[in-house]
Amino acid sequence: MNPITTLYQEHAIIVDAVEVAREAEKLIEKDNEAYLQTMKLLLHFFRVYSDQYHHHKEEEILFPEMNKKNELLEDGVVKEMFENHEDFRNMINTIENHLNTGEYVKAQQQLQNYTEALLDHIAVENDEVFQMAETLFDESELERIYFRFEDCDREIGEQQKTDLVNQLREIKATLMYSQA
Ligand SMILES: [Fe+2]
Ligand SMILES: [Fe+2]
């Protein structure tokens, strides 16, 4: 019952989505309609799974608890993580705008920027922030955070979370099939 494990697991799924998003580029030349549909599903995944389920746990629960333990974090790495999340939201909106106007190359360039920034962000959290979190909290504090994470998923909807992961697998399979 370690909440940090939950976050590592979510990161692994988000990294998977990044790989799928990069693969989607190959559809542009082949089939615009399929590209558009795939991108819309991926944007939905990033908005709901990455932002609502995952960033929500960090922003509403983990980071504030870390700041309580060490005030210096609030203006340091934790602040940086909050700013990254905000940038990600803006980048997703920009990608969607490009898709809506049919500017697929621009959408793909912005997606590339987004996925690079997202992978860098995940690396900082995995290598720095989460390791720090594990040293800041004792067993019972970690357990409390774990249960708050569970509540958080329940509030947003556990079934929807599972569905999003299954949908990601389907997109991945479809992309592999279309390239065979
Ligand atoms: Fe984050
Ligand atoms: Fe994260």
In a domain, residue 118? The reply is yes
Ligand nearest to the CA of 11: 2
Ligand 2 mean position to 58 CA, how many Å? 7
Predicted confidence at residue 172, as pLDDT, reads 94
* Segments forming the whole domain that contains residue 117: 3-161
Ligand 2 mean position to 135 CA, how many Å? 18
CA distances from 162 to 7, 11, 129 (A): 15, 15, 26
Q: At what angle do helices 32-45 and 77-100 cross, to 10 degrees?
A: 150
- How many Å apart are CA 173 and CA 56, to the nearest integer? 29
Ligand 2 mean position to 85 CA, how many Å? 9
Rg (CA), the chain: 17
In a domain, residue 170? The reply is no
Q: In whole angstroms, what separates CA 138 from the centre of its chain?
A: 27
CATH number at residue 55: 1.20.120.520
In a domain, residue 173? The reply is no
Q: What is the mean pLDDT of each run of 10 residues along the chain (180 residues)?
A: 96 97 88 92 98 98 97 95 98 98 94 98 98 96 98 98 98 83
Predicted confidence at residue 41, as pLDDT, reads 97
pLDDT in tens, 125-148: 999 999 999 999 999 999 999 999
Predicted confidence at residue 139, as pLDDT, reads 96
pTM surpassing 0.75? yes
Q: What is the dihedral of CA 44, 50, 51, 56, to 10 degrees?
A: 140
Using an 8 Å Cβ cutoff, are 81 and 63 in contact?
yes
Q: Kindly provide the residue ranges of all beta strands, DSSP E only, lying in 34-100, ordered along the sequence.
A: none
In a domain, residue 168? The reply is no
For residue 127, give the 3-state DSSP assignment.
helix
In a domain, residue 150? The reply is yes
Predicted confidence at residue 49, as pLDDT, reads 98
In a domain, residue 46? The reply is yes
Residues around ligand 2, an ion, CB closer than 5 A: 125
Predicted confidence at residue 29, as pLDDT, reads 82
Number of domains in the chain: 1
Predicted confidence at residue 171, as pLDDT, reads 95
In a domain, residue 75? The reply is yes
